[in-house]
């Protein structure tokens, strides 16, 4: 499984709860940036299909 591509999907609290003390919300884009070729936050449901297409499209291999 060395260098196998992975698509990760994460969810968290509603954006209306951002910056409230009752919920912990993490900036997932910045969290995954060091280990991901592409990281995006979806705030509107209209772009889910576009983002999913990009996530599953072939990407150039990056060798470290």
Predicted confidence (pLDDT) per residue in 46-56, tens digit = 999 999 898 88
Contact 25, 12 (CB under 8 A): yes
Say whether 24 sits in a helix, a strand or coil: coil
Tens-place pLDDT, residues 29-43: 999 889 888 888 888
Structural domain range at position 38? 15-56
User: Can you say whether residue 3 is alpha, beta or left, with left for phi > 0 and alpha for psi between -120 and 50 degrees?
Assistant: left
Is 32 inside a domain boundary? yes
Name the more confident of 45 and 18: 45
What the block records as the tokens of 26 is 């993490």
Q: Is 7 a domain residue? A: no
Q: Above pLDDT 90, what percent of the chain?
A: 11
Domain count along the chain: 1
For the four alpha carbons of 52, 29, 39 and 35, in that order, the dihedral sign comes to negative
Answer whether residue 6 is part of any domain.
no
Residue with tokens 């260098």: 3
């Amino acid at each position: 499984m060395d260098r196998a591509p992975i698509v990760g999907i994460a969810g968290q609290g509603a954006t209306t709860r951002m910056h409230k003390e009752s919920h912990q919300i993490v900036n997932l884009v910045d969290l995954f940036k060091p280990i991901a070729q592409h990281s995006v936050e979806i705030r509107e449901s209209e772009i889910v299909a576009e983002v999913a297409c990009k996530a599953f499209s072939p990407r150039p291999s990056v060798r470290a």
